[in-house]
Amino acid sequence: MCFKNLPVEFDKQGKAYLRSDVEDPYGYEPKKGHPGNPGNPGPAAVPEPHITEYIIDPITRVAGALGFHTRCDLRERKVMEAYSMATLFRGYEVILKGRDPRDAIDISSRACGVCGGVHSTCSSMALEMAFPVVPPPMGVVARNLGETAEFLYDHPLHLFLLAGPDYSEMIVKKTNPEIWEQAQKTSAPHQDLHGFKTIGEIMTGLNPLSGKLYLEAFEITRLAREMCCLMYGKYPHPSTLVPGGVTTTLTFTTFNDYYTRLVKLFDYSKKMVALWDDISDFLYDQNPRYKQVGARPVNMIDLGGFDDPDAYDATYKNCSKWGERRWATPGVTINGELVTTELQKINIGIEEFVEHSFYDKWNGQAMKTDPAGNPISPNHMWNKETKPKPVGRSFKEKYTWATSPRWDRTVMEAGCYARLWHTALAKKQPENPYIEATGHSLKMRLPKAQLPEMELEWKIPITLNAIERNRGRAYCMPWMCLIAMVNLTKAFELLRKGETKAHTKFELPQSGTQVGVGFWQAGRGYLSHHVILENGKIKNYQILTPSTWNASPVDPFGKHGAYEEAVLNSPILESFARPEDFKGIDIQRTIRSFDPCMPCTTHIYTGTGIPERVITRDIISCACGLEDETELHGRNFGAGS
């Protein structure tokens, strides 16, 4: 069976149906009382010095604000409470209601300034299904090339500008000086490849503003953004993505220019993997308990991406078939087991809950089944209505603007590593000379550039934790290079055949009801856009992002979202003699390993038993709150206080 909690079963033809013995198949009784926190005895009658609140609020980037509240026992070195707080309502779903469907592509892309192309792509695919219209092969290939380029920009941004500083000399010196001392003495196993003789040199390279790796990432992200522009005309927020393909002018010169940049990223990818392998293995050697920092069950969801131009027909009827032909395989993994790779089954198993969110519940159910006749929940995105209702924050009641999406009423995690996991397990990727899924790993054969040809192998880790999220992100870089290479080869083949048409003309429906969904992915994981059109206008539009999955609050069944669960599972391994010296680096590493959508400033507050401190600075240009305030005076980090 695909589902264990939802009363959905399948007949011999694979058609889903609701069990007849369940009176209210999607009904539930919300769990009453304070959300469960393992090891939390409740508020102490008398404040204890070793019990402290640790709050990061806000953690924000261009796509919304994120705060995080914890209560820590510094004597037992564990987190007692954890709550993720999306602190800003943005309202794209409300803005789009009643508008011309074509507006959705440009408006929804503004949901993120870091990954604006993925929303444009996802929106155009949702409209392709609704209209309907099918892009020509060159349109699919160009979209694949634009999106691989976007991820080739996004991965180094995360690993060297956002998450990387957490592992820099600047941070490790302050939070774990004993590890920094060993890092300076430990030879880097892959020094012949990346050029850093010791682990300490790698950590110095990750220093914000001055580190070699930090500064190099700016150049690499520029190259990748240029590749995006070649496919899309401009980036971010491309205007050439349309239902039916892309309107960019594509020539041999376009693809040759793309290739000259791609070759440079072959070598960079080889170095990136070696660097993060060295850092990861070193930390495990220093303290095996790092395997528990950010650990949570291997429950992951992803929609895959990078379509086969000979398979993609933009229909919901065939989406499970063309989805399994993608270069990145869709999937749901529960406790490490791959339970499905079919897009229809993934879609019908999703519900969104708002019991602990600043929204009113909605009434009614616009759709009882999907377009293929499979049952869907009243809490499915096609039925959801966005009804904002801000109230005072209470962790017992409502405390965030994020919702609680669940698959089969199970807490799921989104991430690019989920794509690696599902593709490796499923062994369904198209035949090619570069990538091989083995069932337990993904082998990648990177062509020769300045560095020789090289085979890399990402192996499914035993534990999903902060370190493995970052390591997986590093292996996604060469994977994206190879998917780009395969699609580039296809583009040249189409050009030689004279198949240069990159978009299909569409007609906007003017009457009746049409539904569609874009099944896609962002750099940090799962992305879907669900749309219902009525008489030529948008009746309902729902965006479900990876950070919504990961930052979700407690659900009506009392289960924490992925950020919260991972922080609650994390030991505190930081070195400190007094509570007031506590920096919270293990909490920050855990949250940042998910690549949360967060913009510029970080305020850090330490509460009970410790004098209040508030530090404000730019997360992109510093080590995120761990320097002494005295060191900040006279330094310009680009953010005011």
Distances (CA, A) of 145 to 104, 251, 474, 483, 562: 22, 14, 19, 8, 31
Residue 638 pLDDT greater than 60, yes or no: no
Q: How far apart are CA 432 and CA 235, in angstroms?
A: 29
The letter for the amino acid at 15 is K
Domains of the chain and CATH, by start: 8-95+115-632 (1.10.645.10)
Residue 37 pLDDT greater than 80, yes or no: no
Q: What is the pLDDT of residues 588-617, one digit of tens each?
A: 999 999 998 743 222 333 444 444 433 333
Among the listed ranges 132-136, 308-312, 634-638, which one has the minimum average pLDDT value? Answer: 634-638
pLDDT at 58: 54
Helix (H, G, I), strand (E, B) or coil at 349: coil
Find residue 334's DSSP bridge partners: 337
pLDDT at 44: 47
Stronger pLDDT, 602 or 450, i.e. the higher one: 450
Q: How far apart are CA 463 and CA 88, in angstroms?
A: 33
Q: How confident is the model at residue 2 (pLDDT cuts 50, 70, 90)?
A: confident
Residue 554 pLDDT greater than 60, yes or no: yes
Q: How confident is the model at residue 339 (pLDDT cuts 50, 70, 90)?
A: very high
Q: What is the pLDDT of residues 528-540, one digit of tens each?
A: 999 999 999 999 9
**Phi and psi for 70 in degrees, rounded to 5?**
-135, 160
Q: How far apart are CA 274 and CA 293, in angstroms?
A: 22
Q: Tokens standing for 154? A: 């996004």
Q: How far apart are CA 156 and CA 523, in angstroms?
A: 11
**Over pLDDT 70: what percentage of the chain?**
89
Q: How far apart are CA 105 and CA 71, in angstroms?
A: 41
Residue 28 pLDDT greater than 60, yes or no: yes
Q: Which of 640, 543, 519 is nearest to 63 (CA)?
A: 543
pLDDT at 622: 41
Residue 484 pLDDT greater than 90, yes or no: yes
Stronger pLDDT, 53 or 199, i.e. the higher one: 199
Q: What is the pLDDT of residues 506-528, one digit of tens each?
A: 999 999 999 999 999 999 999 99
Q: How confident is the model at residue 66 (pLDDT cuts 50, 70, 90)?
A: confident
The letter for the amino acid at 360 is D
Q: Is the peptide bond before 165 cis (omega within 30 degrees of 0)?
A: no
pLDDT at 256: 98
Q: What is the DSSP string of 115-127?
A: SHHHHHHHHHHHH
Q: How confident is the model at residue 90 (pLDDT cuts 50, 70, 90)?
A: confident
Q: How far apart are CA 142 and CA 490, in angstroms?
A: 10
pLDDT at 35: 59
pLDDT at 602: 27
pLDDT at 112: 74
